Structure 1
Amino acid sequence: MRVGRALPLAAAGVVALALALTGCTGTGSHADAPSPTQTAWTEAPTDSPAPTPGATAFVSSGTAAQNQPVFDAAIRKVLAKNAEADGNAVVAALKAAGFPMNATQVSQSTTSANLKPGSIMVGVKVGDSCLVGQWGAAVDGYQSTVAPVLGSGGCLIGGIPVVG
């Protein structure tokens, strides 16, 4: 009947851990503590021009978040014509919309076995952030996000830099 003895010991361990973690919060008054400041999610600076709704061209002085509607529109236009478009077609659309090619990376459009991957990704570095788009059957359509630049300075791990 070791199981019967192990259960109360495990429960006692969980309670002890919970009490120890509760002790980490301190017993002092929180009335004097400064209120937290919001750092991760801030509004874009108002002095940077933002693309207007329906804008079709990249704004080089804008942020990644401000250019995301243009990024999404360019990619969605390609995917509306061909839901299985490869990376080259999407890169061409981003180039036509004015995104800098020297800041663009794309994942492979075929696997090493010459098969279609479950999804394809494209990333464009805009300032200190990246616009990252992904589409394909494995991700149920198209999705995009604004992400931090990787330690490598790029936007995609293993992404192929776009030339010209």
Structure 2
Amino acid sequence: MTRPRRALACALATVPLAALLLAGCTSPEPMPTPSTSRTATAAPTPTPTPTPELHPEGTASDNQAFFDHVNRALIDSGVALNGAAFVDNLVANGFVRADMEVTPDVTAIGVGADNIVFSVRFGDTCLLGQWGNIGYTSLTTAVLSTGRCIVGTARPA
């Protein structure tokens, strides 16, 4: 046998032996078996959100959640919405009419106003609500230097 053939034969003879030795060194780890038992987990119980309340002696901030609650209820009721409807709804829910202002429903040229702004004064703070082409929004602010909540001419509430 020639030298290259002999080297090839020796190499081929040692490959199965090396594979056998290496196979013994690496034993596969047992695969975990899936569990068949299922544990029921209780869904967390949601904490109910309390219905907001009117705080007549509070500030505008103290009453904004209730103000929004009653205004959104009116909007969702499907009645025709105008300044008087918002004022009457607020009065029916405990707000004081004498502390309210509302902008006109119609512009100076007789066109329906795009938005109506209405307010309730609480001491030196005001709650302002706006309804119209922008949807509904509200904010709290300080009373203006005029002593009122709304800039411009407001109609009697």
TM-score category, normalised to shorter length? 0.5 to 0.7
Counterpart of 2:125?
Answer: 129
Q: Which has the larger radius of gyration?
A: 2
Unaligned runs of 5+ in 1: 1-51
Counterpart of 1:160?
Answer: 155
Question: C-alpha displacement at 1:106, in angstroms?
Answer: 0.3
Determine if the alignment matches structure 1 residue 71 to structure 2 residue 67: yes
Return the TM-score normalized by structure 1. 0.61
Residue by residue over 1:122-161, the C-alpha shift from the partner in whole angstroms, topping out at 9 and shown as x without a partner, is 0110121000000101xx2100000110111110012223
Amino-acid identity (%): 34
- Which of 141, 152, 164 aligns to 2:135? It is 141
Residue by residue over 1:32-59, the C-alpha shift from the partner in whole angstroms, topping out at 9 and shown as x without a partner, is xxxxxxxxxxxxxxxxxxxx94135x22
Determine if the alignment matches structure 1 residue 55 to structure 2 residue 52: yes
- Deviating 4+ runs (over 2 angstroms): 81-84
8 Å contact from structure 1 (residues 87, 120) kept in 2: yes
Unaligned runs of 5+ in 2: 1-48
Question: C-alpha displacement at 1:81, in angstroms?
Answer: 2.3
Determine if the alignment matches structure 1 residue 104 to structure 2 residue 100: yes
Aligned residue identity for 1:159: A
- Cα root mean square deviation, aligned: 1.8
Aligned residue pairs total 108
Distance 2:67 2:91 in 1: 10
SS at match of 2:68: helix
